[in-house]
């Protein structure tokens, strides 16, 4: 898939009627809802019915299940995601008519026009960090607008128009679309090779972040002081004349974390900024979430919010959907769900889970995402999964990709080091039953992956409810 090229932006009111293809997706639905909030005539289609589609209909969006050229109606602008292929009948019709066709990133960027844009990017942590920023600014009374990649558990929504001057977005680096955004503040959580099917090389991938951080509209860059990829970029950003605020555990960090720990439920640390220092207490676990919170704090102080208010607000963050989200506790077995789909993310999720597991076993159910990523990182996934005591690996969730010869989830299962009990199931439909036969009271189960592995936890809970541990 080629990288997305930025296009000139048009203010939202000037787009006419807007039709979204694949409107039920996490990246599209929030944008469509905000367009409707602004009074734009909005329609959209998706392959399957869903609660998201029904929610959009209730918000005034004309929705369709399935794709048909006639559903474009009198649209002036058509919005697509990277997953929509040129063979889609609605996209083909839009091309035939010569309509304005925008990638979702352009539609999102148009919402930022006239506001102070905060773009959060990085290989890992984008969703949680952008959601934390939205939460902290909201608590501080800034009333930001935002579109993030997953609903906030506290509100059930991934988007808000807001009336304040700030607009926060999650900026996806996978397809290069993060270069579309007219950001004033850029957050870079980390840089580690990924999405090489699009970028080609790790060097090209890293160079994309440099282009973003030194863009003409950017005034401030909030960047990790600990991540090697981010550190390698920092001096070039300073040399470009940007204000840089670093965060992390490094002694040189502008926003520094020390005294890291956990309280059996969430994560704790001492956070020190330029004019503030004190305890940071999160309701979500994991060292990585403390780093995400430090980045959010850095954004807040860059926008003039007092540090003490930001630290207090951080305690209110309840997490986002599919980011170490509690699913159920049945028969003494606790079940969580996590979106991790890169080896570093899998390791971080399992490390956080280990803090909570107590005397039981840590059980991971992992579904690889994309054939190319599995091909490139099977060995790394195996090593990350070794942090669990027992592992179930499922077949690959293909998403936008076609199969590759010889690339299956079994590559990951085979890469898990000796000493860890591993089971492999090709079909996700077998995962819950397999887990039910393995777990016992006291175990903590994490379902992990960016695909439909999220359905396994609820299915497991049902099976365990009917089978006393």
Per the domain annotation, does 287 fall within a domain? yes
Helices (H) and strands (E) in the chain, counts: 15, 21
Residues 213 and 262 in one domain: yes
Which residues touch 60 (CB under 8 Å, ≥6 apart)? 36, 42
Within this chain, do residues 157 and 118 fall inside the same structural domain, yes or no? yes
How far, in Å, CA of 38 to CA of 32, rounded? Answer: 10
Tell me which residue range forms the domain holding 342: 325-465
Q: Does residue 374 surpass a pLDDT of 80?
A: yes
DSSP 320: B
Per-residue pLDDT, 400: 78
Residue 469 pLDDT > 60, yes or no? no
Q: Where do we find the tokens 């990246």?
A: 27
One domain for residues 149 and 234: yes
Whether 302 and 338 map to the same domain: the answer is no
The two structure tokens encoding residue 217: 């509209």
Q: What are phi and psi of 51, to 5 degrees?
A: -60, -35
- Is 33 in the same domain as 82? yes
Q: Is residue 1 part of a domain?
A: no
Confidence of residue 1 (pLDDT cuts 50, 70, 90): low
The answer to whether residue 376 is domain-embedded is yes
Structural domain contains residue 5:
no
Question: 21 with 124, same domain?
Answer: no
Looking at residue 468, what is its pLDDT? Answer: 59
Domain for residue 7, yes or no? no
Residue 108 lies in a domain: no
Are 150 and 260 members of one domain? Answer: yes
Residues 6+ apart with CB under 8 A from 95: 86, 101
- Residues 337 and 226 occupy one common structural domain: no
Q: Are residue 459 and residue 368 in the same domain, yes or no?
A: yes
DSSP 427: S
Single residue among 57, 82, 103 that ends a domain in this structure: 103
Distances (CA, A) of 134 to 214, 215, 286, 337, 388: 24, 23, 20, 22, 33
Cα–Cα distance list, 179 to 125, 197, 232 (Å): 18, 18, 20
Check which CATH number belongs to the domain holding 135 and give it. 3.40.1190.10
335 shares its domain with 284: no
Mean pLDDT in residue range 227-250:
97
- Predicted model pTM: 0.82
pLDDT at residue 358 tops 90: no
pLDDT tens by residue, 293-349: 999 999 999 999 999 999 999 999 988 777 888 899 999 999 999 989 889 889 989
For residue 330, the cross-strand partners are 333
Distance CA 358, CA 361 (A): 8
Tell me what the pLDDT averaged over the chain comes to.
93
Quick one: tokens of 312? 């207090």
Tokens 């003490």 sit at which residue?
308
Please state the rounded mean pLDDT for residues 17-27. Answer: 92
The CATH number given to whatever domain includes residue 349 is 3.90.190.20
Is the model's pLDDT at 196 over the cut of 90?
Answer: no
Domain count, the chain: 3
Examine residue 6 and state whether it is found in any structural domain, yes or no: no
What digits encode the pLDDT tens for the residues 383-404? 999 999 999 999 999 987 899 9
Q: Which residue has the higher pLDDT, 197 or 453?
A: 453
Cα–Cα distance for residue pair 277/253, rounded to 1 Å: 13
pLDDT greater than 70 at residue 155: yes
What's the CATH number where 78 sits?
A: 3.40.50.720
> Residue 199's pLDDT is what?
87
The predicted structure's pLDDT at residue 3: 87
Boundary residue ending a domain (270, 295, 314)? 314
3-state secondary structure of 33: helix
Domain boundary (103, 129, 145) is at: 103
pLDDT on residue 26: 80
Residues 290 and 225 in one domain: yes
Give residue 175's pLDDT: 87
pLDDT tens per residue, range 36-64: 999 999 999 999 899 899 999 999 999 99
Residue 33 has a CB neighbour count (10 Å cut-off) of 24
Residue 448 or residue 150, greater confidence: 448
Does residue 118 share a domain with residue 99? no
| Residue at 295 is within a domain | yes
Supply the residues annotated as catalytic: 126-127, 170
């Amino acid at each position: 898939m080629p990288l997305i090229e930025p296009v000139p932006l048009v203010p939202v009111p000037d787009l006419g009627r807007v039709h979204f293809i694949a409107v039920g997706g996490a990246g599209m639905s929030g944008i469509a809802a905000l367009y409707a909030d602004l009074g734009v005539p909005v329609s959209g289609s998706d392959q399957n019915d869903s609660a998201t589609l029904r929610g959009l209909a209730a918000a005034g969006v004309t929705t369709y299940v399935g794709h048909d050229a006639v559903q474009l109606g009198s649209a002036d602008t058509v919005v697509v995601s990277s997953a929509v292929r040129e063979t889609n009948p609605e996209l083909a019709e839009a091309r035939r008519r010569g309509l304005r066709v925008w990638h979702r990133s352009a539609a999102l960027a148009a919402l930022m026009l006239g506001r102070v844009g905060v773009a959060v990017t990085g290989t890992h942590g984008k969703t949680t960090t952008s959601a934390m920023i939205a939460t902290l600014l909201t608590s501080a009374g800034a009333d930001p607008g935002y579109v993030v990649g997953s609903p906030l558990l506290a509100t059930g929504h991934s988007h808000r128009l807001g009336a304040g001057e700030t607009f926060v977005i999650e900026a996806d680096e996978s397809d290069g679309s993060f270069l579309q955004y007219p950001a004033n503040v850029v957050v870079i959580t980390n840089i580690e090779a990924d999405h090489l099917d699009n970028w080609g090389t790790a060097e090209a991938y890293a160079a994309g972040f440099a282009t973003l951080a030194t863009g003409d509209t950017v005034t401030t860059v909030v960047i990790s002081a600990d991540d090697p990829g981010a550190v390698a970029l920092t001096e070039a950003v300073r040399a470009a004349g940007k204000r840089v605020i670093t965060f992390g555990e490094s002694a040189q960090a502008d926003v520094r974390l020390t005294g890291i720990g956990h309280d059996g439920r969430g994560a704790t640390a001492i956070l020190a900024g330029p004019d503030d220092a004190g305890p940071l207490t999160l309701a979500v676990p994991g060292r990585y979430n403390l780093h995400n919170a430090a980045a959010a704090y850095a954004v807040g102080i860059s926008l003039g919010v007092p540090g003490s208010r930001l630290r207090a607000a951080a305690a209110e963050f309840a997490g986002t959907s599919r980011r170490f989200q509690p699913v159920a506790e049945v028969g003494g077995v606790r079940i969580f769900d996590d979106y991790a789909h890169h080896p570093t993310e899998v390791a971080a999720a399992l490390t956080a889970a280990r803090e909570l597991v107590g005397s039981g076993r840590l059980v991971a159910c992992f579904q690889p995402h994309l054939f190319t990523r599995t091909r490139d990182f099977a060995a790394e996934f195996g090593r990350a999964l070794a942090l669990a005591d027992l592992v179930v690996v499922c077949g690959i969730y293909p998403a936008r990709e076609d199969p590759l010869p010889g690339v299956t989830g079994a590559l990951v299962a085979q890469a898990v080091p000796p000493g860890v009990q591993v089971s492999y199931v090709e079909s996700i439909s077998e995962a819950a039953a397999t887990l039910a036969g393995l777990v016992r009271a006291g175990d903590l189960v994490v379902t992990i992956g960016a695909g439909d592995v999220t359905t396994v936890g609820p299915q497991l809970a049902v099976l365990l409810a009917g089978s006393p541990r």
